[in-house]
Structure 1
Amino acid sequence: MLDVMPLQTAVDALADRLRSLPQSALGRGAAAEGLALARELALRAQRLEAPQRAPRAMPDAGMFAVGDQLAVAGHDLVEALRGAAPDPAPDAKAAPADELAEALRWVKEAAGRC
């Protein structure tokens, strides 16, 4: 079973940070960065949970909601990774362990930019 706790911890920390930023910092790019990451994590979670269905895009709910959107998308991906088979289907883009490592890298990089 994958150890998804580092991803969950990193997502929670970044989501909390986004929730606490002033409007000026959110407007200078932190909100856009958080939303882009939330959308990517949500896309990955949907592809793991229902690969046969076209993924839905996460809407822009405004700069003050981006921390919550990131938390929801990150937790969805954590749960999708927990439920993923260790050996991916032949048409899968990446193994769950690779998805986990890539998602953790994205979150850390986004945190550095925020």
Structure 2
Amino acid sequence: MDDVTPLLTAVDAFADRLRTLPQSRLSRGAAAEALALARELAARTQRIEEPEVSEVREMPDAGMFAVADQVAVAGHDLAEALSASGGDVAEAVRLVEAAAHRCGL
């Protein structure tokens, strides 16, 4: 079982920073970037938990003010799945850090 603490730390920090952004910055691309990350994290979780299912369900767009929570939930779900499966935590951390960088956070 891998230590998922680095992933949880990265996800929580990114979500917390998103929550502090003004609407103008969210609408200029940060929310879209964060939603793309949340969708990718959720898709990875689905592939781990349901490898027999060929089509992953896409996380819905709940709006720019909910995207931080979507990132947090998807990240915590992935951490749980990776912990149980022994998957690559470092790769998931890199995804979160790259998205944060693209958002300027």
TM range (shorter): over 0.9
Question: Unmatched 5+ residue regions in structure 1?
Answer: 87-95
Aligned to 1:25: 25
2:33 is aligned with what amino acid?
E
TM-score by length of 1: 0.86
TM-score by length of 2: 0.93
2:91 is aligned with what amino acid?
E
Moved over 2 A (4+): none
Say which one has the larger Rg: 1
Aligned to 1:90: none
User: 1:90-105, aligned counterparts within 5 Å?
Assistant: 96-97=87-88, 100-105=89-94
Counting matched residue pairs gives 102
2:21 is aligned with what amino acid?
L
Following the alignment from structure 1 to structure 2, what is the Cα–Cα distance between the partners of residues 20 and 2?
31
Aligned to 2:9: 9
User: 1:1-114, aligned counterparts within 5 Å?
Assistant: 1-53=1-53, 54-84=55-85, 86=86, 96-97=87-88, 100-114=89-103
Which structure would you say has the larger RCO, counting Cα contacts within 8 Å and 6 or more residues apart?
2
Aligned to 1:91: none
Percent identity over paired residues: 69
RMSD after superposition: 0.9
| SS state at 1:64 partner | coil
